[in-house]
Amino acid sequence: MRQSRKRRSSPLLQSDQMAQSQPRRRRDPTQPNLPFDPMPERIDPCLALLKPSPPTGPDWLYEVKWDGYRLAIHIEPDCVRIITRGGHDWTSRFPAIADAATRLGVRSAILDGEAVVLDEHGRSDFVALQKSLGGRGGNKASTEAVLYAFDLMYFDGHDLMGTELSVRRHLLSDLLADHDGAIQLSEDITGEPEDLLANACSMGLEGIIAKHRDRPYRSGRTGDWLKIKCIHSESFMIVGYEQSRVARGGIGSLLLAARRGSGWLFVGSVGTGFKERDAVFLKTTLDKLKTKQPVVPLNGKNLVYAEPTLIAEIEFRGWTYDGNLRHASYKGLREVQDNAAVFDILEKPRD
């Protein structure tokens, strides 16, 4: 679905902060097919490391932190493929983004970005995105989702992963300069980092991302990219629940765990944020995953243990002294195909 007006990538951006670059010179279609770098089938994404405050200095650039699904857009000579973080093909679920990719006028490219649905204030709304896809387990095609692209790993036959971010961003900006469809540039935001974070928080955004300008594209959580959040929101594994005769749906709280090395570490429970129908679904599903032995050491009455299968997105206000989530609230379940990274306790920021 082609959009009639280009959406701004952030409420933080002012008119004089729009990324500017020279129009991209298109490749001559009559040029012979020269041997270039082979196009990767899949690239594990670069992930942002959680930090309590943003870095400062000229080596860093800043963007809005989007709340959606991480996607890689593979543009090939005869097709477009949209690949989730876990390597699943979701091309059919994002037809507007796939159509926009075909109209970029490039023979081959791999874009990294986040598919989001925006609210009336231009903020990404994860719940609205899930709804547009038919909810958990649904199989709808989202016509509302927009991809905010923030990196370019492969372009016109050339592998860019060893190139510094500033060059990749310049090429990406050129590629998207005249595009007004369902793929938009996630633009840089300028200003003092603490001010940018404060503005993001005051506007109800999730936070900001800081990226080192001179680093190559490296898969995994290397520290080249940092995430600084207003309200913490992370993915945790559900390892059971506490039964309740009073709570609607029969669940008093969900038991949560984070990764620690090759195992799990209990990080507390969450008893707010889910409605009765959520609780009914969760109880029915978790009862099918019952196990007598908890995957983390737990003792208590009315506890039902489950195999680590369901991943929940949890909002929380920080960490208690003994390592549990503080003021946790259930936000929803992550799709299996999204391959959401369960929070690794090693990346917990020091307050």
Task: Find where tokens 């089938």 sit.
Answer: 41
Closest C-alpha to 124, from 139, 152, 146:
146
Structure tokens at 308: 């680590």
Q: Where are the beta strands (DSSP E) in the chain?
A: 49-50, 60-64, 69-76, 79-84, 109-116, 146-155, 158-159, 183-185, 207-212, 225-229, 232-243, 251-260, 263-270, 303-305, 311-316, 318-319, 325-326, 329-333
Rg of the chain on CA atoms, in Å: 21
Distance (Å, whole) CA 189 – CA 48: 17
Provide the annotated active-site residues: 65
End-to-end CA distance of the chain: 45
Structure tokens at 263: 């195992």
Confirm if 111 and 149 have CB atoms less than 8 A apart. Answer: yes
Distance (Å, whole) CA 141 – CA 133: 6
| CA distances from residue 274 to 111, 128, 248, 301, 308 in whole angstroms, order as listed | 35, 16, 10, 22, 19
Q: Which helix (H) or strand (E) holds 199?
A: helix 193-202
